[in-house]
Amino acid sequence: MILEYEGYQFMGAVSGQDGLAAIQRERPDAVLLDIKMPGMDGMEVLRKLHALDESLPIIMISGHGSTATTVEAIKSGAVDYFEKPLSTERVIVTLRNVLKQSELSAENRDLKLAMESRYEIVGQSPALRGVLESVQRASPTNATVLLLGESGVGKELVARTIHRNSPRAGQRFVQVNCAAIPEELIESELFGHEKGSFTGATEKQVGKFEQADRGTIFLDEVGDMSQKTQAKVLRVLQEQEVERLGSARTIKVDVRVIAATNKNLEEAIERGEFRDDLYFRLNVIPIVVPPLRERRDDIPRLVQHFAKRTAEEHNLKPKRFESAALDALSRYRWRGNIRELRNTVERLMIMTPTDSVRAEDLPADIRNSESSPVRMPMPAAAATAPENAAANAVPKSDGQQPAGAGTLREFKDAAERAYLVQKLRENNWNISKTAEIIDTPRSNLYKKLEQYGIKQEVDG
């Protein structure tokens, strides 16, 4: 009567067994449980309930003065207890607090789940499953992992997943973006410095390697380190110790290294830009994260995942992606890989006014992407050496053909390819600018780059 008067819905049970059954059926927000009952007594019901659902708040009702029992009840998972005779005031206040508390814990759990979903690696394609298997093997060890793959494929996500599944999960995951730190600062970032060790060093700084002690250091864009930094990093990996700038003292560190790059390090070694001894140190467990276009089967699932996340993050109503839209999204090239897909889904969720996203709602270049990218037979010279092709492919007055161009079609392709490479170079590989200058839509230029397998040349 007290509870109903307070606006709660109440249901009673006459025995322990009845209570257990009713609770599983009705899923109440809280349980008031007497101890002395016929058949199964309150303590036993308490243990059973607690085993079934730890989060269900249970308040015991004990006979006057039975302290030992109440202590035992709390130990077995009860959140509070009432002594007989019940005081109206105490029942109401206690119940209100208990419910408030359990609501907070539920919110907490939801937040945790949302956090987890940020780190979830979505996809079941064979290509991704291969990656996940390697992750599983590498995680429990201390072995150095080298993550390779294009921009936006999920290298950082994989690095974090390895750390979270490793024995070091309770320790820090320290990320260093080697490409983003100016050359003159990177050493002090990585190894730290003593106060006054160089102009501007007004305070002592603990380096990233020291910060990551007993945890994991993630050397992102490792292909962008200077020779000098490479030499120092190599030393840390070999000796497992660092020296702060301006200090002769060596500090022992215990770090697990995960490195990532979208560069081809073997080519960088050949060009003399990357030390091979550092490469061998890093390349203990290489994991290649494949581009999205090699795991298109995952796209619909990724779209749902990002749509759900965007809806939660921006308080939007969920939207359905119609199958024609999913098809078009699955066909598209995704040069920016999963990051580009995520941004596209986010934009569609925010900008599409209707409850479902149709193919017509997609940007034109995605809507119009061809069903399977047709690869043109590539004249041998053009495929391997754009420089030569550029020279060769210009139709010559003496009637000589570009190397390997047997048919008119192949000749035209080789010439077009050479022209595009030339123009891109003139415009520093700026796609928008090049497209404007040669007067073709940007999407068309992208299509051509894809068709001819033209990749930006790396400087140097």
Ligand X SMILES: Nc1ncnc2c1ncn2[C@@H]1O[C@H](COP(=O)(O)OP(=O)(O)OP(=O)(O)O)[C@@H](O)[C@H]1O
Judged by the rule CB under 5 A, the positions of this chain that interact with Mg ion are 156
Q: Of Mg ion, ligand X, none, which one does residue 342 interact with (CB within 5 to 8 Å by kind)? A: ligand X
**Gap between the Cα atoms of 205 and 247, Å rounded:** 12
Q: Binding ligand X by CB under 6 A: which of 46, 153, 366, 418?
A: 153
Q: Which is nearer to ligand X, 70 or 262 (CB)?
A: 262
**Shortest Å distance, C-beta 193 to ligand X:** 27
DSSP for 173-194, please give it.
EEEEETTTS-HHHHHHHHHEE-
* Count, residues in the chain: 460
Window 85-124: contact mask with ligand X (x via CB under 6 A)? ------------------------------------xxx-
Q: Which is nearer to ligand X, 205 or 262 (CB)?
A: 262
The residues, any chain, with a CB within 8 Å of residue 263's CB and separated by 6 or more, are 223, 224, 458
Residue nearest to ligand X (CB): 154
**Shortest Å distance, C-beta 155 to Mg ion:** 5
**Shortest Å distance, C-beta 134 to Mg ion:** 18
Q: Which is nearer to ligand X, 135 or 421 (CB)?
A: 135
Q: Binding ligand X by CB under 6 A: which of 342, 417, 447, 448?
A: 342
The yes or no reply on residue 290 touching ligand X (CB under 6 A) is no
Residues paired with residue 147 on neighbouring β-strands, in sequence order: 260, 287
Contact 451, 374 (CB under 8 A): yes
Tell me how crowded residue 230 is: count the other CB atoms within 10 A of its CB: 19
Residue nearest to Mg ion (CB): 156
The yes or no reply on residue 155 touching ligand X (CB under 6 A) is yes
User: For tokens 């210009």, what's the residue?
Assistant: 394
Q: Of ligand X, Mg ion, none, which one does residue 151 interact with (CB within 5 to 8 Å by kind)? A: ligand X
**Gap between the Cα atoms of 77 and 105, Å rounded:** 15
Task: Return the SS3 of 32.
Answer: strand
Q: Which is nearer to ligand X, 208 or 342 (CB)?
A: 342
450 φ, ψ (degrees, to nearest 5): -65, -50
Q: Which is nearer to Mg ion, 174 or 328 (CB)?
A: 174
Identity of the residue numbered 458: V
Task: Return the SS3 of 208.
Answer: helix
Stretch of 148-156, 233-241, 372-380, 412-420 contacting ligand X, by CB under 6 A: 148-156
DSSP for 358-370, please give it.
-GGGS-HHHHT--
The yes or no reply on residue 291 touching ligand X (CB under 6 A) is no
